[in-house]
Amino acid sequence: MENSEELLKKLTEDSKKSVKLQKIRTACVFAMLVMMAYSVFVIVPRVVNILDRIQNTVATAEEAMTRAQETLDEIDEMADSLTKTGDGMNALINENGEKIADSLEKMSNIDFDGLNQGIKDLQDAVGPFANFMKKFK
């Protein structure tokens, strides 16, 4: 009988240990469920919010890059236009350079003192006639 009493004591101890182990397992499972619930209700919305912000930032960056590319294309067009204008002015100067030089030489040969003297003489000659005509108004 003693053997069966020892066996019962051992079974009782093993049952107590098993119950204790089951309680620890249950507490661990409960802690994991609490952490999962916390993740679902707190961390996941924050992560989703951050991902939305990242997506908006990427969209804004893409829009800025598109605008920057359009601006660079417009600058390229302006540079081409300026180059064509410069080429046209060079051609115009090359074509008319000799005529411009001749015109400048002719203008430098004008006797401005003689021209001024002629204008003064004309004023002296016409001045009395103009005064005479004013009297008939």
User: What tokens does 88 get?
Assistant: 């046209």
> What pLDDT, on the 0 to 100 scale, is given for residue 137?
67
The boundaries of the domain holding residue 92 are: 2-134
CB atoms within 10 A of CB 41: 9
Encode pLDDT of 66-111 as tens digits: 999 999 999 999 999 999 998 888 887 787 778 877 887 877 777 7
Q: Which residue has the tokens 């240990």?
A: 17
11-41: pLDDT as tens digits: 899 999 999 999 999 999 999 999 998 888 8
Number of compact structural domains in the chain: 1
Give residue-wise pLDDT tens across range 111-127: 778 878 888 888 888 88
